[in-house]
Amino acid sequence: MEILEMKISNYEEVFKLWTSTAGMGMRNLDDSKEGISKFLKRNPTTNFIAMDNCKMVGVILCGHDGRRAYIYHTAVDEKYRGKGIGKKLVDKVMETLKQEGINKAALVVFSNNEIGNGFWSSTGWERREDLNYYNLSLNNEN
């Protein structure tokens, strides 16, 4: 098992994993090849894939604004779950964020995504009850 920086050349495999994973909230523009390319250019060192014998089996997308990091679209192929791959991806991101001077990270999981919520709870992330999440779409095509 290898953890490697994600490159735009990995997009097709990554997108296939995202769209085959229950609980993922995909956006037309943001998650297109062009949208992810823009994200990777802005955040070149904080996105990773897990490879098992030339097969991409996991991915974590993460970016930061210089103060806080945000994790998006973390997924592990269903056949490879329970082997610590998700934890390895998270650990790699946290290690990289610390090296870049980032002290806090956040993420959003749909409340009905039992697998995702269970994973993040089991890896030490705290669920917050004191926040309201607000969203505003600037482009209706997204």
The string of pLDDT tens digits covering residues 95-130 is: 999 999 999 999 999 999 999 999 999 999 999 999
Query: Taken in order 89, 36, 62, 109, is the CA torsion positive or negative?
Result: negative
Whole domain around residue 36: which residue ranges? 2-122
* Residue 139 counted as domain residue: no
The number of folded domains in the chain is 1
Indicate the average pLDDT of the chain.
Answer: 94
Angle, to 10 degrees, between the axis of helix 11-19 and the axis of helix 33-42? 110
* Residue 65 counted as domain residue: yes
Q: Is the pTM of this model over 0.85?
A: yes
* Residue 131 counted as domain residue: no
CATH code for the domain in which residue 48 is found: 3.40.630.30
Look up residue 98 and give its two tokens: 């610390």
Q: Which amino acid is at 48?
A: F
pLDDT, tens digit, 9 for 90 and up, residues 87-100 = 999 999 999 999 99
* Residue 69 counted as domain residue: yes
The confidence score (pLDDT) of residue 121 equals 93
Pick from 5-19, 50-64, 120-134: least confident: 120-134
